[in-house]
Amino acid sequence: MKVLFAGTPEIALPSLRAVAQAHEVTAVLTAPDRPVGRGRRMQASPVAECAVELGLKVLRFEKLNGSAREEIAQLGSEILVCVAYGKIFGPKFLALFPRGGVNLHPSLLPKYRGPSPIAAALLAGDSLTGVSIQRLALEMDAGDILARSEIPLDGTETAASLTERAAKHGAELLVQTLNAIEAGNEQAEVQAHHQASYCGLVKKQDGLLNWDRSALELDRLVRAFSPWPGAFTIFDGKELKLHETAIPTELDQDVAMESTQAGKVLGVDNRHGILVQTGDGVLALRRLQLPGRKALDWATFLNGTPNFLGSVLGGTIR
């Protein structure tokens, strides 16, 4: 089939490559180049860079207005394939495609409709997630389900590792679904809309740890927001990034555990790392980063930050 592929971030790359190998991609629709870094240098989206490598036409519209629709109509695409494009498609745009549109969503719909389903699954401590291929509809993530693939979780995943797994699962499932549509034997399942749950956009401040929460919740937060927006706390009036944490078991006998003050740095355990009291249980900090410095393993971090032990994390940035 002739496919217009719409996507922007890295999670869409396996799907773009797989679809381009199995079908004719007439063009790739992606977000315009954006300024990044301190120098505000313009940078193309990961999907745009991949499309160029594959020799595909790239479209970068700020708005999907009449002129954009006119240019896309001339491509003669039969179907729209969307993987994290970042914008909602209106009825006039969807009408350009005789076979409609399909979307890859990294959750088991109708669970976690919205822009952050991977983080939502990790924050909730789910033992199972997956990917869904759905028909594009005017309401976000509400279209009929064409296919699903489950992904079991063991509680050690980060957003980065789960995104990579979901991208691979999704690419395979997407091509299978397109092949079924081309053959005319796809099967659609109406979503149970009353069972839908939603997740919102993740913001930088969401990564701030509240030490009154349990160790289990905080460990999930660190993993759910790795690498973006990143989990952090406040130490000595500065932002301290926490790249890796763990729930410690069988602590060393000589670690003082008298404190009940949430955020208190209790000591160290040679197997688990730096131990911090939470509202329920102890969290081990394993990889940390101060502003302007590299991320360090816990032992190296302590060597350069001797006043960390015994401090209380939290507060405000000075």
Give the pLDDT confidence of 43-74 residue by residue, as tens digits. 999 999 999 999 999 999 999 999 999 999 99
Residues 225 and 273 in one domain: yes
* pLDDT reading at 221 higher than 80: yes
| pLDDT score at 41 | 85
The shares of helix, strand and coil residues in the chain, as percent rounded to the nearest 5, are 30, 30, 45
d(CA 52, CA 20): 12
Task: Report the number of distinct structural domains present in the chain.
Answer: 2
Domain assignment present for residue 125? The answer is yes
The Cα angle at residue 32 between residues 105 and 175, in degrees rounded to 5: 35
Single out the residue in 195, 220, 245 at which a domain terminates. Answer: 195
- Residues 6 or more apart whose CB falls under 8 angstroms from that of 137 comprise 143, 144
Strand partners, 280: 214
Residues 187 and 239 in one domain: no
Residues 112 and 7 in one domain: yes
Single out the residue in 136, 167, 195 at which a domain terminates. Answer: 195
Instruction: Tell whether omega for the bond before 227 is within 30 degrees of 0, i.e. cis.
Output: yes
Question: 145: domain CATH number?
Answer: 3.40.50.170
**Residue/partner pairs of 136-141 with CB below 8 Å, 24 or more apart:** 136/80, 136/82, 136/89, 136/94, 136/100, 136/101, 136/102, 136/103, 138/90, 138/91, 138/94, 140/88, 140/113, 140/114, 141/103, 141/105, 141/109, 141/110, 141/113, 141/114
Residues 146 and 277 in one domain: no
The model's pTM is 0.94
Do 17 and 54 touch, CB atoms closer than 8 A? yes
Domain assignment present for residue 87? The answer is yes
Domain assignment present for residue 52? The answer is yes
* Mean pLDDT score across all residues of the chain: 94
20-50 pLDDT per residue, tens:
999 999 999 999 988 887 778 889 999 999 9
Domain residue limits at 278: 204-308
Residues 150 and 24 in one domain: yes
Do 64 and 73 touch, CB atoms closer than 8 A? no
Question: 303: domain CATH number?
Answer: 3.10.25.10
| pLDDT score at 242 | 98
Single out the residue in 195, 229, 260 at which a domain terminates. Answer: 195
Domain assignment present for residue 287? The answer is yes
Strand 41-43 and strand 101-105: the pairing is unpaired
pLDDT band at 204 (very low <50, low <70, confident <90, very high): very high
Residues 185 and 105 in one domain: yes
Domain assignment present for residue 218? The answer is yes
pLDDT band at 259 (very low <50, low <70, confident <90, very high): low
